[in-house]
Structure 1
Amino acid sequence: MIVQSLLGEFMHEAENTRKILNAIPDSALEYRPQPHLWSTGQLASHIAEVYNWYDPTFNLDEFDMGTYKYDKGDISKTANIVARFEENLDNARKVLEGAKDENMMTTWRMTMGGQDIFPAMPRAVVVRGFLFNHLYHHRGELVMHLRAGGHRVPGLYGPTYEESQQQQ
């Protein structure tokens, strides 16, 4: 029951992620609202990368970020980022479909160099916080990057302000 409910949300939210990634014009990829923030392309690449974390989250009891190899790929074109997202999404979906409810309360840890990054917690909590909510947070940042750069964004949970004004 736990895995089925997670899978439903996963599939629904994957469509929202796809919408926002596809809304990025290539001309916006280098934009950063402030010098210390990731560029739009880096942020979009990170969003696509989060789906790579499903396998270690579901299939390991400890995820050592110190040994994880992040490969953002070619972020010079939105199509490249979307292709990476689609590949990672498909792999993550397969991992989630293969998950078992009885493993969802198993203690899970994220470490780096032998030190806990997050306190140990049940895998179900990690999936909601580290995978799902983390992704939603970064999608929100991406919306703000696009809006700050003067670009339109799609409605994710209903129409955007601009879309609602067109309907009147």
Structure 2
Amino acid sequence: MIKQALLGEFLYEAENTRKILKAIPDSALDWKPSEKNWTTTQLASHIAEVYNWYDSTFNLDVFDMGTYHYDKGDISKAENIVAKFEENVAKAQKVLENSDESTYFNEWKMEMNGNVVFPPAQKIQIIRGFLYNHLYHHRGELVVYLRSTGNKVPGLYGPTADDKM
């Protein structure tokens, strides 16, 4: 039952993520709002990468970032970031569909070389916070990046200022 709810949200929100990533023009990839922020490329690539964390989050009780390796691929073009997203989201969907609900309340934590990075919590909290809400947060940032670079923003939860009413 929990899995079906997670899967429904996953599918709906993956489509929203797809819309926002497809709205990025190559001309905006190097833009960042300040020296402290990521570029559009880095932010969009990170959004695509979050879907790569599903296997380690759903299927392990300890995610060791010290041994984690991820190939971002060629992120010099927006279409390549979208392609990486598509690859990662397909794998994430399979992980979610094949997940065992009986493990959702196991304790989960993230470590890096033996040091706790993300404190222990029930896996379901991590799924909602670390995977889902984390992604929505960064997607919101990407909306601001698009708007700040003069690009159109697709409607995710209804029309935007770019849509004609």
Q: Fold match, TM over 0.5?
A: yes
Residue 109 of structure 1: CA displacement?
0.7
Contact 2:66-2:112 at 8 Å conserved across structures: yes
Contact 2:32-2:38 at 8 Å conserved across structures: yes
Contact 1:32-1:40 at 8 Å conserved across structures: yes
Contact 2:153-2:162 at 8 Å conserved across structures: no
Name the residue aligned to 2:149.
149
Name the residue aligned to 1:24.
24
What residue identity is the alignment partner of 2:61?
D
Residue 72 of structure 1: CA displacement?
2.2
Name the residue aligned to 1:69.
69
| Runs of 4+ residues over 2 Å off in structure 1 | none
Name the residue aligned to 1:57.
57
Q: Give secondary structure in 1 for the equivalent of 2:8.
A: helix
Deviations 1:55-86 (A, max 9, x none): 00011110011111133221111110000000
Contact 1:17-1:139 at 8 Å conserved across structures: yes
Which range is displaced more, 27-36 or 42-51? Answer: 27-36
**Rounded Cα–Cα distance in structure 2 between residues aligned with 1:13 and 1:79:** 19
Name the residue aligned to 2:34.
34
Name the residue aligned to 1:90.
90
Residue 162 of structure 1: CA displacement?
2.9
**Rounded Cα–Cα distance in structure 2 between residues aligned with 1:141 and 1:158:** 18
What residue identity is the alignment partner of 1:129?
G
Number of positions where the alignment pairs a residue of Structure 1 with one of Structure 2? 165
| TM-score using structure 2 length | 0.97
**Rounded Cα–Cα distance in structure 2 between residues aligned with 1:36 and 1:109:** 28
**Rounded Cα–Cα distance in structure 2 between residues aligned with 1:119 and 1:33:** 31
Which range is displaced more, 68-77 or 154-163? Answer: 68-77
| TM-score using structure 1 length | 0.95
Contact 1:33-1:149 at 8 Å conserved across structures: no
**Rounded Cα–Cα distance in structure 1 between residues aligned with 2:156 and 2:109:** 31
Name the residue aligned to 2:126.
126
Contact 1:28-1:149 at 8 Å conserved across structures: yes
What residue identity is the alignment partner of 2:135?
L
Root-mean-square deviation (Å): 0.9
Q: Which runs of 5+ in 2 are unaligned?
A: none
Q: Give secondary structure in 2 for the equivalent of 1:111.
A: strand
Which range is displaced more, 70-79 or 150-159? Answer: 70-79
What residue identity is the alignment partner of 1:30?
D
**Rounded Cα–Cα distance in structure 1 between residues aligned with 2:162 and 2:24:** 17
Deviations 1:36-65 (A, max 9, x none): 211101110000000000000011110011
Q: Which runs of 5+ in 1 are unaligned?
A: none
Contact 2:32-2:39 at 8 Å conserved across structures: yes
